[in-house]
């Protein structure tokens, strides 16, 4: 999964959470007997939902960056380079008789 795809999915999660919270707010505002306390509670829930979605999106972005950095570090490590050279030599040795 690409890192840009992960980031776009995080944005979708944040947008979805915000839309859900807005829907709850609208529904509670539509209720004729909604008390001021209920409105405050809904506002607090919306605020918490938006904050949680933002935190989750930021954390997902950080994890994607960390995964990319670790993958890059692994693939450029001397150990992997040595294994790659060994594999090249093995292929060369295996195909040498066919070339002669």
| Domain spans, the chain | 3-75
Report DSSP letters for the chain, one per residue. Answer: --HHHHHHHHHHHHHHHHHHHHHHHHHHHHSTT--HHHHHHHHHHHHHHHHHHHHHHHHHHHHHHHHHHHHHHHHTSHHHHHHHHHHHHHHHHHHHHHH-
Q: pLDDT, tens digit, for every residue of 58-76?
A: 888 899 899 999 999 998 9
Please list the pLDDT of the chain residue by residue as tens digits (100 residues). 565 666 666 666 676 777 777 777 666 666 555 577 777 887 888 888 888 888 888 888 899 899 999 999 998 999 988 998 999 998 988 888 777 6
Which pLDDT score is estimated for 37? 78
């Amino acid at each position: 999964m690409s890192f840009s795809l992960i980031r776009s999915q995080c944005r979708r999660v944040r947008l979805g959470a915000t839309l859900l919270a807005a829907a709850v707010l609208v529904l509670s505002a539509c209720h004729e007997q909604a008390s001021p306390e209920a409105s405050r509670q809904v506002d607090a829930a919306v605020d918490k939902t938006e904050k949680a979605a933002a935190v989750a999106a930021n954390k997902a972005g950080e994890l994607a960056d960390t995964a990319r950095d670790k993958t890059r570090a692994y693939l450029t490590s001397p150990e992997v380079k040595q294994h790659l050279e060994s594999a090249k030599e093995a292929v060369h040795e295996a195909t040498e008789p066919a070339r002669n």
